[in-house]
């Protein structure tokens, strides 16, 4: 348009300037006509550009909204993926915990699995459990990486004591800026540097079993989602721990005498073949001791069966305390008879031990109906491999030695 209108005007201007100055009137008329024509054209162009700009802004806003929606969808997708991963990890944790029967194994597996989920070189996983009798908090297991870590605060630090008092989950982004706790006190009690932690109580209903804690040497290590995930793990761990405690309690009732607290004959019959096989392979000596209370029927007749139970309980405690070396097995054989299995022990050494426990029991005062009494024992001893090659033979030889001790006057130790 500039070329179409501009070139003729330039030509008219040159013609009017050099040849006919009256032609400027026509030139002015042409300029006025062009101006009148260009004004609405300009208005249309301005209106068009404004509309295009508005449409461009609308498109930009739509793009921004789409980007925001995409980010939201991406966040939801990532969160969903994380939930799927967490669910898979929890499924694996549940399967591994379900395979543990004993409390020690359950504690180790729980710490190891939590370490896999949260752990790195700066993270420590700690499991505290409450003692079933005293109710005190005690260290059950601790792990950093693939190694067990030594925790000085065996009964917990101020963070654990706070959680015991409140029984609420605890999250600390930076211990140096948390006004609830005295960091200097923690540093004096615990050599490890602790900057952030998450911790949750292990609860079954209103019953507290312990504390599961994850701490790090770096600040802002854990977030809200980490604490929620730990709480879920804690719920699963609490169920597994209670099951292990119940299993051990039932097993203890099945293999221990309810009156004396020592093992029953059933457990003895399970152990003797194993010990004989082990000692045969190692060509080592094994001793077996049968113990009978002398004239026990007289105690029941003179003082009653309750007094007889007191005597049995006292003798059981004395035997358990005396033969407390690792591997020794003290059992109630039946009635007033007890037995002791002594691994890695010669018959000569067993005779010395039998004499020592015989003297100890004979000197023990027992109060029955406000009267001081005492009781004696007869002991029969047999040794492997010289006296018996299997369970039945070993028990028979020890029983024969016991009969010999009783028939020769009681309060004696006789060997096969």
- 3-class SS shares of the chain: helix, strand, coil, % to 5: 55, 20, 25
pTM over 0.85: no
Note the pLDDT of residue 373.
83
In degrees rounded to 5, what are phi and psi of residue 150? -85, 120
Tell me the C-alpha distance between 375 and 296, whole Å: 8
Asked: is 263-415 a CATH 3.30.70.270 domain? The reply is: yes
CA pseudo-torsion sign 181, 183, 188, 190: positive
Note whether 402 and 378 are within 8 A (CB): yes
Strand 123-130 to strand 371-373: parallel, antiparallel, or no bridges (unpaired)? unpaired
Evaluate whether 199 touches 213 at the Cβ level (below 8 Å): yes
- Helices (H), strands (E): how many in the chain? 11, 14
Q: Which residue has the tokens 């004499």?
A: 355
**Predicted pLDDT of residue 303:** 78
Residue for token pair 């009267």: 371
How do the pLDDT tens digits run along the chain, 416 residues long? 667 666 776 776 776 667 666 667 777 777 777 778 778 888 888 888 888 888 888 888 888 888 887 787 776 656 555 655 566 777 888 888 888 888 989 998 898 888 888 867 788 999 999 988 788 889 888 888 777 777 877 888 888 989 999 999 999 998 888 888 877 666 655 667 888 999 999 999 889 999 999 999 888 888 888 898 899 999 999 999 999 998 888 877 778 888 888 899 888 998 899 999 999 998 999 999 999 999 888 877 777 878 888 889 999 999 999 998 888 999 999 889 999 999 999 999 999 999 999 999 999 888 877 778 888 999 999 999 999 889 999 999 999 999 999 999 899 999 99
Among residues 324, 322, 319, the alpha carbon closest in space to that of 337 is found at 319
Q: What CA–CA distance (Å, rounded) separates 175 from 183?
A: 7
> How many of the other CB atoms lie within 10 Å of CB of 276?
20
N- to C-terminal Cα distance for the chain? Answer: 132
What was the pLDDT predicted at 98? Answer: 85
CATH of 103-253, one of 3.40.30.10, 3.30.450.40, 3.40.50.300, 3.10.20.740: 3.30.450.40
Burial class (CB in 10 A: 0-12, 13-18, 19+), 249: exposed
Tell me which residue of 344, 295, 352, 279 sits closest to 322, measured CA to CA: 352
Residue 268 neighbours by CB distance under 10 Å: 21
Structure tokens at 84: 């799927």
- H/E element, 185: helix 183-189
> Hey, what are 3's tokens?
């070329």
Which ranges in the chain are annotated with CATH 3.30.70.270? 263-415
pLDDT at 190: 63
Q: Are strands 329-334 and 263-264 parallel, antiparallel or unpaired?
A: parallel
Question: Are 181 and 157 in contact, with CB atoms under 8 Å apart?
Answer: no
Angle between helix 224-255 and helix 23-98 axes, rounded to 10 deg: 10
Residues of the chain within CATH 3.30.450.40 domain(s) are 103-253
Query: What pLDDT does residue 66 have?
Result: 81
- C-alpha–C-alpha distance, residues 363 and 253, integer Å: 31
What's the rounded Cα separation, in Å, for the pair 415 and 29?
Answer: 147
Pairing of strands 337-343, 329-334: antiparallel
Confidence (pLDDT) at 340: 95
Which two three-digit tokens encode residue 376?
Answer: 């004696």
């Amino acid at each position: 348009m500039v070329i179409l209108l501009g070139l003729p005007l330039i030509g008219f201007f040159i013609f009017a300037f050099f040849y006919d100055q009256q032609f400027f009137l026509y030139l002015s008329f042409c300029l006025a006509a062009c101006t009148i024509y260009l004004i609405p054209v300009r208005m249309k162009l301005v209106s068009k550009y404004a509309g295009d700009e508005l449409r461009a802004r609308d498109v930009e806003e739509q793009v921004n909204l789409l980007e925001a929606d995409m980010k939201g969808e991406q966040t939801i997708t990532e969160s969903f993926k994380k939930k799927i991963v967490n669910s898979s990890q929890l499924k694996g944790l549940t399967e591994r915990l379900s395979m543990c029967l004993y409390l020690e194994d359950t504690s180790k597996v729980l710490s190891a699995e939590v370490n896999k989920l949260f752990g790195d070189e700066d993270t420590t996983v700690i499991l505290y459990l409450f003692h079933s009798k005293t109710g005190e908090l005690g260290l059950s297991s601790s792990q950093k990486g693939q190694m067990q870590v030594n925790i000085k605060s065996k009964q917990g630090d101020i963070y654990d004591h706070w959680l015991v008092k409140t029984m609420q989950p605890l999250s600390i982004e930076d211990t140096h800026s948390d006004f609830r706790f005295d960091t200097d006190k923690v540093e004096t009690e615990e050599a490890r540097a602790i900057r952030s932690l998450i911790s949750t109580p292990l609860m079954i209903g209103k019953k507290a079993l312990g504390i599961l804690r994850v701490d790090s040497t770096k600040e802002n290590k854990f977030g809200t989602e980490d604490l929620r995930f730990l709480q879920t793990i804690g719920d699963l761990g609490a169920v597994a721990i209670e099951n292990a405690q119940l299993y051990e309690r039932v097993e203890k009732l099945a293999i221990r005498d309810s009156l004396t607290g020592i093992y029953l004959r059933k457990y003895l019959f399970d152990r003797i073949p194993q010990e004989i096989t082990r000692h045969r392979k190692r060509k080592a000596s094994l001793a077996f001791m049968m113990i009978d209370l002398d004239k026990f029927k007289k105690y029941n007749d003179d003082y009653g069966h309750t007094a007889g139970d007191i005597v049995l309980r006292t003798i059981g405690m004395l035997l358990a305390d005396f033969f407390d070396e690792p591997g020794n097995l003290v059992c109630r054989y039946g009635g007033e008879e007890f037995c002791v299995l002594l691994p890695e022990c010669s018959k000569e050494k067993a005779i010395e031990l039998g004499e020592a426990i015989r003297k100890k029991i004979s000197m023990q005062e027992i109060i029955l109906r406000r009267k001081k009494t005492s009781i004696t024992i007869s002991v029969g001893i047999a040794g492997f491999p010289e006296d018996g090659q299997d369970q039945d033979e070993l028990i028979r030889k020890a029983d024969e030695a016991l009969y010999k001790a009783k028939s020769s006057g009681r309060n004696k130790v006789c060997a096969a």
